[in-house]
């Protein structure tokens, strides 16, 4: 009897979770659709582009570059060269001396022709929420272009829309299989909802940095 109770409880919780994920995905897709762009010629211009970080290497020992990373770099360069952004905030994880996403992104942008003086590093963009909040509160920018893959951009835009940040997003090319993107994103969206409900703040803030 007890075994049946726990089995039925698990089944109910599982289907509730599936339903919640489905509702969240529907809301994100519907409310951010008009803010997503894949054509560099169609996207409106903003002063600042916010490049969201990810690991550069899939396999560092073999120098196998993560396609999600490379496609975000390429998308950012395309926006800058087209005059759609004037400055770039590279926001990512720099939690240890041996792992620095912003420094790698900055170096790769410079290697593709973006002037160093146009790039600002946010070393405390540990999560998407942190990147959006720090862009607003540390860099003083509340009209931005977010740069990542489309599934990530939807979540970032939803956060921006609830944090008084006027944003559009440019979709970098995909970096993997559809299942890979689904599996890594769906639970992150559930956590995002809790963060917004609880008014979770960025892990670190600090002194203001003026972009000019």
User: Quick one: average pLDDT of 133-154?
Assistant: 97
* Residue-wise DSSP of 106-142: HHHHHHTT--GGGEEEETB--SHHHHHHHHHHTS---
Q: How is the chain split into domains, by residue range?
A: 2-197
Provide the residue count of the chain: 212
pLDDT at 184 over 80: no
- 101: tokens are 């996403």
- DSSP string over 56-107: SEEETTTTEE-HHHHHHHHHHHHHHHTTSEEEEEEE-B--BTTB-HHHHHHH
CATH topology assigned to domain 2-197? Rossmann fold (3.40.50)
Residues 6+ apart with CB under 8 A from 147: 49, 50, 51, 52, 72, 75, 76, 79, 153, 169, 170, 172
- Is residue 62 predicted with pLDDT exceeding 80? no
Contact between 48 and 87 under an 8 Å Cβ cutoff? The reply is: yes
Q: Is the pLDDT of residue 100 over 70?
A: yes
Instruction: State the average pLDDT over residues 88-95.
Output: 94
Distance separating alpha carbons of residues 195 and 20, to the nearest angstrom: 15
Instruction: Indicate the pLDDT class of residue 178, thresholds 50, 70 and 90.
Output: low
DSSP 3-state of 147 = strand
Q: How confident is the model at residue 101 (pLDDT cuts 50, 70, 90)?
A: very high
CA distance 158 to 180: 21
- Does the pLDDT of residue 17 top 90, yes or no? no
Using pLDDT thresholds of 50, 70 and 90, give the confidence band for residue 23: confident
Instruction: Kindly indicate the confidence band of residue 175, based on its pLDDT and cuts at 50, 70 and 90.
Output: confident
Q: How many CB atoms lie within 10 A of CB 188?
A: 13
Sorting pLDDT into bands at 50, 70 and 90, what band is 1? low
């Amino acid at each position: 009897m007890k075994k049946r109770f726990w089995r039925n409880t698990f089944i109910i919780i599982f289907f509730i979770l599936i339903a919640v994920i489905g509702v969240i995905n529907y809301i994100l897709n519907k409310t951010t659709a008009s803010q997503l762009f894949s054509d560099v010629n169609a996207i409106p211009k903003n002063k600042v582009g916010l490049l969201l970080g990810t690991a550069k290497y899939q396999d560092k020992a073999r120098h196998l570059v993560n396609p999600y990373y490379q496609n975000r770099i390429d998308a950012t360069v395309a926006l800058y060269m087209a005059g759609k952004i004037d400055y770039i905030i590279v926001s990512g994880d720099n939690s240890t001396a041996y792992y620095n996403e912003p420094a790698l992104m900055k170096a790769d942008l410079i290697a593709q022709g973006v002037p160093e003086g146009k790039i600002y590093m946010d070393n405390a963009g540990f999560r998407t929420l942190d990147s959006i909040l720090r862009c607003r509160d540390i860099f003083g920018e509340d009209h931005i272009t977010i740069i990542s893959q489309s599934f990530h951009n939807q979540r970032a835009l939803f956060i921006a829309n609830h944090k008084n940040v006027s944003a559009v997003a440019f979709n970098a090319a995909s970096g993997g299989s559809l299942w890979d993107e689904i599996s890594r994103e769906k639970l992150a969206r559930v956590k995002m909802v809790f963060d917004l409900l609880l008014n979770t703040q960025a892990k670190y803030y600090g002194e203001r940095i003026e972009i000019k």
